[in-house]
Structure 1
C-alpha cells in the first residue's frame, strides 16, 4: 500500500473517477495502478470483481452506521437507539411543574380558609401557646391565634433545627418520650427576638390570614386539591428541605451552610435521575443570594447541565407561552425580600407571583397535560397546631449536630418530619375543592418527598432513598376526567 504522502501527490494528478476504492478498514479494494497479466481473464471475471467491490461497500456502510449510532450515545442531540427513548408517562400528565415557595406553615397561610369544613385549620378552633413554656398554665400569659396576621411580618421567626425542636416539643432536646405538643412557638419567638412585654408582637408567630387577605391562594385551593397533612421533610431551614425535595436526603446537612453555595452535595438528585432516563428538565430561577436548587449538586456542574438546564425565570414565561416547557419544570422564587413569602416579603407580592405562574401555565398550549404543584419549603418558624410524624426513615445514615441556644449540643437524626406546609395540586385532571387529609389508600403522611415518589411512578424511575420509599404518592388524585379550570385568579389583597 502506498504512503499517505504518495497518495496525496497522486490525487493531484488524478481525476475523481480514478481514486482507489477503500474498504471499511481503509484498505485499497481497487486502483487503476493495479495490473493484470491476463486481460482476457479480467474481462471474463469483471462481474465477480464488481460484486466483490459492491459487497465491500455495503459492509463499510453498515459499519459506519453502527459506529455513528454508538458514538451518538455520548453526543447530546444525536438520536438514541431503541430502548433509550424517554419513558412514556403514565396517565394524562406529560408535564410536571413544581414551585416551592418560602417559610409559611399551613396554619399561618391556609388555617383561615372557610370554603370547606374538612380543612384541619384554625376556623372554629382555639389554638394558644404560653408566653413561657416553663409556665404553660394560667394565670401565666397565653397567646392565642387570631386572623390578624400582617402583610409584612415584623420578625423572621427562628427556623433552625434547635428552634424547631423547641416549637414542636417545648425543649431543645426531644427524645422518643417527648410529646409534640406544638406549644413552644411563642416562647421561641420571644427568645429569638428578645421580646419582653409586647406579646402582640410575639403573637405574629401564631396569627394567621383570613381568606380575603390571601384570595389567590384561597382560589387555588378551592378550585383544585388542597393537602392539609403535608409535612416538610426537616423541622429546620430552607436548604436542607430543598435538598430533600430534590434528592430525598440532605446528606447530613441541617443548616444553610457553604455546601449549598458551592454545588458540593454528592448524592444523586431528581435532575440527574431524569437526565439518565433521557427526560428533559429545566430549573427556572429568580434567586438572588441562594443558588437554584439544581445547583446544590456536584453532578449538575460537572455534567455541564448548570449551563444548559438552569435558566432565568423570564425564560419560564416565554417557554410557557410557546408551549415548550420540558417534561419536568422546577421553579425557584426570589428570596427573601419580595415574592417568596419569606419575611420581610409582603404577602400580597407573593400572591401576585403565584397568580403570574398559574396564569402563565393556564394560558400555555401545554396546560391540558400539566400538573402544577405548589408547596412551601418549610414552616419558617410560624406556628401550626398539628404534630408532625416521628420515627420516619431518614434519607441516609448521616446525622447533624448543632449547638442549641442554651449552649448544649443537639444531634438530629433526620427521623422526624417538619411542620405542616400548605400544598396544592393544580391541573384539569384533578378534582375541584378536594381537601386531602391523610391518605386512605396507603400508609404514612404526605411530605415533600411525595413529589419524588410520584415522579418515580410517573416515569417508572427508581426510588432515590428510604425516605422517598416511605412517602405516599398522590398519583391516585389524578383522575381520568378532564375538566374546565379558571383562566384567571383574583387580584391580590391590599391590607
Structure 2
C-alpha cells in the first residue's frame, strides 16, 4: 500500500450493477493472470453435457433463477438442494412450519447445477427457456468485443478475481450487505406482507445501523445517485415501469428524496470553489445505482406460446440478464469519464469500485468458501425474512470487481478474498469508523491495491463507446387490468419503497393519516393499480427534486 495514496484519496465511489458472474463477464477475456474456468468446464442435465463456451448471448431468453433455492441447486446439485429444502424451508409467511435450524447445514458444493436450475426454475416468473437454450447459462462474453468499456478498465486498472457476493442468494439481501455488513437475517426477496418494516416508517433496519448512519454520526457527508432518467439504455423503458425506484432508499434513515438523479453528477463532481479547489472533496462516499429497467408490468410470450407475466428489467442500465449490457457499459463510461476525465478536479484523489450485487444464476468455476457470519441480531418485525435457516457462514458466487484509481498499477490482478463488506472495510479504515458487524470487521480492505508512489499520468481520459447488440424484437408491455401482483420479488420491494416514501411525505405534511395510506396500499392487487401508483409517486417525487 502507498501511504501517500491512502492519504490523498478524498472520494470513494461505488457503482453496483446487477446479476453477472465473474466467469461470464471476464472468464474468457484473455486478460493475463486471472483465475478463470478451465477449458473443459461443463454441467450436465437430463443426460446431456453443456460445456462452457463463448461468446455469450447478448441477453437471455428468460431470467435465470437466483433466489436462495436456485443458488443452492446451482452450487450443490438438485439432489442436495432438495434434501436441504425439505428440512429447512420454513414455508410461506402465512403458513410457516416448525424447523430446527440448528440441523440445517449448507451442503457440499460441486458447481453441478447451473444448467439444471436454468432449465427448470420458475422463481423469476419469466418462464423456462426453450431446450436449445439451456446451455446459455454456461456462456461467457467475448469481453473485448462485447464489453469494450469493462475490458479497457480491466486492462488499465485492477481486477479482483476472488470477489464474492456476500451470500448465495438474490439481489436485495446482497445489496443490504454492502450498506450494513449484513442482511439482518434476510435470505429471500421482499414479500407482500402486512407486517413489512417499510410500513412503520422504519425502513429496513440493522441492529448496528447502516454505513450511512455511521457516516452521519462521525460528521461525514455522503451522496446517493441513480440513473433516474434512464439516460444510457439503447432502448429505454418507460418511467411507469419503475426502473427509477431506488433499492437503497428502503433503508431506515434514507428516503427516495435523498437519491439524486445522475443528471446532476457531472456538475456536482466538477464544481470548484473560487480558489479552484474541488467542492466534492468534502463528500468521502458516493453510492451509485443504475436504472433497473422494466421492473413492473411486462408481458411476454413464452417460447411454447403461453403468455407469462413478470418483470424483465429490460431497457435500463443495470445489465440485468434479460436486458443487454449496452446501458450498463454506457453508465460505466459516463461515471468513469466524469470522475477521471481531464476536467475533473478530483481525478487524482478518487477511488472507484465497480462491482455486481450477485451472479444472477450464471456459471462460475470457483466454489464459494466459508464466511464469518455477521453476528448481529435481527430487529423485531424482520424475523420472517430468514426463510431458509441460512446462517450466513458461506459467501455467495464470485462476481466481477474492477478497482479504478490513478494510484492503482496498470493491469493488476488481485487474488485477495473480498466480498461486498470489503467496501465497508475500505471506508472504515480510511475514515476511522467502527465496524458494523463481524463480517466487515474481518473483511479485507482495498488499500493495498493503491500501490503507485504517485498518481499515474497515463490513465485514459476517454473510454471506448459501448457496443450495441443486434436488433431484437421488443417485448409487449401491455398491462391487463386483472393481472394480479406477485407475492414476492423485486417488484414487491420497489412498491414498498414507494409506500415508505409516501408515508414519509405524509408525516412531514400532515395531509393524510399513515393508516389510510397503508390501507390504500393493501387494496392494490393488480398491475393496473400498481402502474397508477408508480406514476403518482413519480410525479410527486419529481416535484420535490430541486437544488
TM-score by length of 1: 0.72
In structure 2, what is the equivalent of residue 316 of structure 1? 265
**Paired position in structure 2 for 1:283:** 224
Gaps of 5+ in 1: 1-87, 133-139, 404-408, 439-444
Does the 8 Å contact 1:115/1:222 carry over to 2?
Answer: yes
8 Å Cα contact 1:400/1:412 also seen in 2: no
Is the Cα contact below 8 Å between 1:89 and 1:458 reproduced in 2?
A: no
SS at match of 1:412: coil
Q: What are the superposed Cα offsets for residues 139-164 of structure 1, whole Å, 9 maximum, x if unpaired?
A: x2111111121112211100101111
Pick one of 203, 210, 218 that aligns with 2:142.
210
CA distance in 1, matches of 2:137, 2:190: 25
* Aligned equivalent of 1:461, options 417, 433, 440: 433
Deviates more, 1:88-97 or 1:266-275: 88-97
> Which of 364, 368, 376 matches 1:388?
368
> Which residue number corresponds to residue 492 of structure 1?
466
Partner of 2:407: 429
Q: Structure 2 residue aligned with 1:164, among 71, 77, 94?
A: 71
Residue from 93, 110, 131 that aligns with 2:45: 131
* Cα shift at 1:266: 2.1
Specify whether residues 108 and 186 from structure 1 end up closer, same or farther in structure 2 by C-alpha distance, changes over 3 A only. Answer: same
Higher relative contact order (CA 8 A, sep 6+): 2
Matches within 5 A, 1:439-458: 445-458=417-430
**Runs of 4+, deviation exceeding 4 Å:** 173-177, 193-196, 258-263, 397-403
> Are residues 290 and 254 of structure 1, via their aligned partners in 2, closer, same or farther at CA, if it must alter by over 3 Å?
farther
Aligned to 1:266: 205
Residue 220 of structure 1 and its aligned partner are, at CA, apart by 0.6
Q: Number of residues paired by the alignment?
A: 382
* Equivalent residue number for residue 307 of structure 2: none
**Structure 1 residue 289: deviation in Å?**
5.1
Residues 393, 470 of structure 1: 8 Å contact kept: no
Distance 1:401 1:191, change over 3 A: farther
Shift of 1:462: 0.3
What whole-Å deviation, never above 9, does each CA across 1:365-412 have from its counterpart, x for those lacking one?
111100000000011111111001125323524597789xxxxx7421
Q: How far does the alpha carbon of each residue in 1:114-170 deviate from its partner, in whole angstroms, 9 at most, with x for none?
A: 121x10124x522101114xxxxxxx2111111121112211100101111111111
Superposed CA deviations along residues 162-205 of structure 1, whole A, max 9, x for unmatched, are 11111111132556583211110100111115658x54311111
Structure 2 unaligned blocks of 5 or more: 85-103, 229-241, 272-277, 293-312, 470-547
Aligned to 2:158: 225
Name the SS of the counterpart of 2:253 in structure 1: helix
Give the match's secondary structure for 2:173. Answer: helix
| Structure 2 CA distance for aligned equivalents of residues 410 and 466 of structure 1 | 21
Separation of aligned partners in 2, 1:471 and 1:252:
19
Q: Secondary structure at the match of 2:330?
A: helix
RMSD: 2.5
Between 454-463 and 283-292, report the one with greater CA deviation.
283-292
Compared with structure 1, are the counterparts of its residues 158 and 195 closer, same or farther at alpha carbon in structure 2 (3 Å cutoff)? closer
Distance 1:95 1:101 in 2: 20
Distance 1:329 1:345, change over 3 A: same
In structure 2, distance between residues paired with 1:284 and 1:332? 6
1:13-35 CA-partner distances (Å, limit 9, x unpaired): xxxxxxxxxxxxxxxxxxxxxxx
Kindly provide the CA deviation profile for residues 288-346 of structure 1, in whole angstroms up to 9, marking residues without a partner as x: 35753442222235xxxx64x42111111221232543221100101032211113221
Provide the C-alpha distance between the structure 2 equivalents of 1:215 and 1:236, rounded to a whole number of angstroms: 29
Distance 1:434 1:260, change over 3 A: farther
**CA contact under 8 A between 1:388 and 1:417: conserved in structure 2?**
yes
State whether residues 290 and 328 of structure 2, in contact with CA within 8 Å, keep that contact through their aligned partners in structure 1. Answer: no
Cα distance between partner residues in 2 of 1:458 and 1:292: 27
Q: Deviations over 1:59-95 (max 9, x none)?
A: xxxxxxxxxxxxxxxxxxxxxxxxxxxxx99522110
**Aligned to 1:349, what secondary structure does the other structure show?**
helix
| CA distance in structure 1 between the aligned counterparts of 2:153 and 2:5, rounded to whole angstroms | 25
Task: Select the residue among 377, 387, 412 that pairs with 2:357.
Answer: 377
Q: In the aligned structure 2, how far is the partner of 1:395 from the partner of 1:487?
A: 43
Q: 1:186 aligns with which of 100, 105, 115?
A: 115
**Aligned mates of 1:163, 1:453 — CA distance in 2:** 30
The answer to whether the 8 Å contact 2:187/2:388 transfers is no
Residues 264/278 of structure 1: CA separation in 2 closer, same or farther (3 Å cut): same
Query: Which region of structure 1 is more displaced relative to structure 2, 98-107 or 482-491?
Result: 482-491
Instruction: Indicate conservation of the 8 Å contact 1:248/1:395, yes or no.
Output: no
Residue 342 to residue 390, structure 1, CA distance change in 2 (3 Å): same
Q: 1:314 to 1:260 in 2, by over 3 A?
A: farther
SS class of match (2:389): strand
